[in-house]
């Protein structure tokens, strides 16, 4: 599985570099938005049960929710400025949540 992650991480890093340079390529913006959605937890549903399973304590969950809200707000602002079509928004969500493109 780590063999699959390393090429994906390299592709994402390259997309960021190209997007913020003078030579972005087709698909770079979607790659970057998908990565930002994943990193921000935008499509995740926070769960105290999952938190407790991971940490063993409810301590820190409220602070985590505040941090998550901030990360989500930044992603929402950036993605809204991208002015994606409804189809592209759905594609972004599907790729970010399920790590695969929607079937046409």
Residue 1 has pLDDT above 50, yes or no: no
Predicted local confidence at residue 52, as pLDDT:
95
Residue 34 to residue 5: CA distance in whole angstroms:
15
Give the residue extent of every domain in the chain.
2-98
Residue 29 to residue 16: CA distance in whole angstroms:
8
Q: Where residue 100 falls among pLDDT bands split at 50, 70, 90? A: confident
**Mean pLDDT to the nearest integer, 14-34:** 93
Residue 72 to residue 104: CA distance in whole angstroms:
28
Residue 88 has pLDDT above 50, yes or no: yes
Q: Where residue 8 falls among pLDDT bands split at 50, 70, 90? A: confident
């Amino acid at each position: 599985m780590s063999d699959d992650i390393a090429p994906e991480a390299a592709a994402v890093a390259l997309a960021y570099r190209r997007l913020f340079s003078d030579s972005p390529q087709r698909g770079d913006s979607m790659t970057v938005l998908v990565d930002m959605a994943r990193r921000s937890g935008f499509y995740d549903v926070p769960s105290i049960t999952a938190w407790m399973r991971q940490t063993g304590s409810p301590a820190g969950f409220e602070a985590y929710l505040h941090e998550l809200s901030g990360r989500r707000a930044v992603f929402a602002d950036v993605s809204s400025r991208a002015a994606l079509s409804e189809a592209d928004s759905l594609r972004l969500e599907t790729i970010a949540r399920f790590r695969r493109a929607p079937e046409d």
